[in-house]
Amino acid sequence: MTHRVRVKEPETAPGASGDIEVPGRDITPGRGRLLEPLGLTLVAGAGVLFVVRPEFYAAGVHLFATWAASLVQ
């Protein structure tokens, strides 16, 4: 699910894939292991809430719309 960024060395050929794991070259070392399941849990919870209690979705849209309208005035 989480894709690691591979850093190509300057001396590599243009067609090289750069799939060799180099320790310390991960863009966010270790953070994805905690944040990804947390984000997926929040999205799943919001999806369940949208299906079970759709009036919360309508109230959220109304709240956002009134907040945006207050910024315009």
Q: What would the DSSP string read from start to end of 17-58? A: ------TT--SSTTHHHHHHHHHHHHHHHHHHHHHH-HHHHH
List, for residues 7-20, the tens digit of each pLDDT value.
556 665 555 555 56
Taking the whole predicted model, whether its pTM rises above 0.75 is answered as: no
Tokens of 49: 């809430």
Segment 17-73, tens digit of pLDDT: 555 666 665 555 566 677 888 999 999 998 898 888 888 888 988 999 999 999 887
